[in-house]
Amino acid sequence: MQRIKTLDEITEPFKNAVITIGNFDGVHMGHQALFHEVIEQADAINGTAMAMTFDPHPSRVLKKNNHPPLITLNEQKTELIGSTGIEVLICVPFTREFAEISAMSFVDDLLVKQIGMKAIVVGQDYSFGRNREGSIDFLKQHAQSLGYEVIVAGWIQDARTRALRVSSTRIRELVMAGKMRETRQMLGRYYQIRGVVTRGRDRGGRLLGFPTANINLQDELAPNNGVYVVTVERQEKKYLGVANIGYSPTFDDHVFTVEVHILDFDDDLVGEKIRVNFVDRIRNEMKFPDLTALSNQILKDIEVARGMRLM
């Protein structure tokens, strides 16, 4: 996938560009449906399948501190979009100046003239331009005169309930509630955090017999405090593990940590970046009367992890 980091890199229109535009936080099943529609439409006209997103997320610029935590940071979002088959990703640096572009200028000058848009695929709630003055009706109103087609995609429903549409808002709620199975159904994959392993206090191995990788969390959305079955990706290999998220109440630390015990693994990971995929939540964080009781519980958690059916 070609990645374009600034609009100045686009010096000539793309061939029969078919594009979808959005924040795509999470790159969930609904977003994936948009990308697949773009690819199909581009194939039909021998065109270029494209997506446009923004970094930072517009809410970080426009709402200051009143913004939700991100499901996927830009690095992971880019990787996920690339895996769908999209040919070109434009990642626009979002600024207040960019937010002031009028809907007409955005469509005519940027999408049609600079990018070469022949079709746009959008969700049913799409809006754009200064003060959200652009809408689906606006796009349709100018489609014939500017020479493009508007394709409005339907909602993708929650596969489990069929009552709720897949959305970034709903996924945040599920992650923060620790409901990782339901999260997976909406994402089409396990929820993942990424981070650099830091030097811990050496209590897991020295005191308990279960060494842990302590993660300096880079992602902003952390699952609810508790113990989870996870898989850990490191250097193209994947391992089973058990993760604790929270404040280690048995030790009275009052410091938020993400600690992962990787099963059947004994390499030093300090300084390495790893990826942790959350399979399911085992239990709440608990305060144990002593280290023996905590160690015994960890053994039980590991047995649960070994017996977990991974999907």
Q: Residue 161: what pLDDT?
A: 60
Rounded average pLDDT over 24-53: 97
- Pair 117, 45: CB distance under 8 Å: no
Confidence check: pLDDT of 163 > 70: no
Q: How many CB atoms lie within 10 A of CB 228?
A: 25
pLDDT of residue 283: 95
CA 231/CA 294 separation, integer angstroms: 22
List, in order, residues 6 or more apart from 107 with CB less than 8 Å away: 134, 138, 139, 142, 146
pLDDT value at residue 251: 64
In the chain the first and final C-alpha atoms are separated, in Å, by 27
More confident residue, 155 or 201: 155
- Bigger pLDDT: 208 or 291? 291
User: Which pLDDT band, with edges at 50, 70 and 90, does 155 fall under?
Assistant: confident
The domain 2-152 is placed in CATH, from the list 3.40.470.10, 3.40.50.11240, 1.10.1200.120, 3.40.50.620, at 3.40.50.620
Max mean pLDDT range (9-18, 260-269, 299-308): 9-18
- Mean of the per-residue pLDDT values of the chain: 91
The secondary structure of the chain in percent helix, strand, coil, rounded to multiples of 5, reads 35, 30, 35
Output the pLDDT for position 217: 76
The answer, yes or no, to whether residue 205 has pLDDT greater than 50, is: no
Q: Are residues 247 and 306 in contact, defined by beta-carbon separation less than 8 angstroms?
A: no
pLDDT at 273 over 60: yes
Per-residue pLDDT, 203: 53
Q: For 108-121, what is the mean pLDDT?
A: 98
Domains of the chain: which residue ranges?
Answer: 2-152, 191-307
At residue 289, does pLDDT exceed 60?
yes
Q: What integer pLDDT is reported at residue 152 of this predicted model?
A: 96
Q: How confident is the model at residue 254 (pLDDT cuts 50, 70, 90)?
A: low
- Residue 207 in this model has a pLDDT that exceeds 70: no
Which range, of 66-70, 144-148, 181-185, averages the lowest pLDDT? 66-70
Determine the pLDDT at residue 101.
95
Model confidence at 185, in pLDDT bands (50, 70, 90)?
very high
Region 185-197: mean pLDDT is 94
- The CATH code that applies to domain 191-307 is 2.40.30.30
Instruction: Give residue-wise pLDDT tens across range 82-111.
Output: 999 999 999 999 999 999 999 999 999 999
Dist. CA 100–CA 129, nearest whole Å: 7
Q: Over the stretch 277-286, which tens digit does the pLDDT of each residue have?
A: 999 999 998 8
Most confidently modeled of 39-53, 66-80, 255-269? 39-53
Q: Tell me: pLDDT of 159 over 80.
A: no
